[in-house]
Amino acid sequence: MIRLVPPLLSVLLLAACTTGAPSSVEPIPGSITYGGQPRSKLTKAPIGSTFDHTFFDKRGRRVVETYQIQPDRSLLLLRRYTRIEYLWD
């Protein structure tokens, strides 16, 4: 029984990593793709390239999102992180 635990756990972890949608990050207010894809297409940017978009959310936190340009010129939201900035006098 103990010999089966590590291989079984490895198989489960690998299956969890390789399945699912390419992006599980949902757009929030302020995201470029919130409410759908933008009307204008990024025609000069290379396919597969990434860029960051920075904005402030309702709570005043800085939000940084990373987008990737897809072959059809749509944008895929890859990741998001929030930074709390402390302002000292």
Q: Where are the beta strands (DSSP E) in the chain?
A: 50-56, 62-69, 75-83
User: pLDDT per residue over 33-57, tens digit each?
Assistant: 999 999 888 888 999 999 999 999 9
At 10 the pLDDT is 56
pLDDT tier at 22, thresholds 50, 70, 90: low
At 30 the pLDDT is 93
User: pLDDT per residue over 55-88, tens digit each?
Assistant: 999 888 999 999 999 999 999 999 999 987 776 6
4-13, 14-23, 71-80: which has the minimum mean pLDDT? 14-23
At 17 the pLDDT is 47
Q: Which residues fall within 8 angstroms of residue 65, CB to CB, at 6 or more apart?
A: 25, 31, 32, 52, 53, 54, 77, 79, 80
Domain boundary assignment for the chain: 23-83
Q: Where are the beta strands (DSSP E) in 2-74?
A: 50-56, 62-69
At 83 the pLDDT is 83
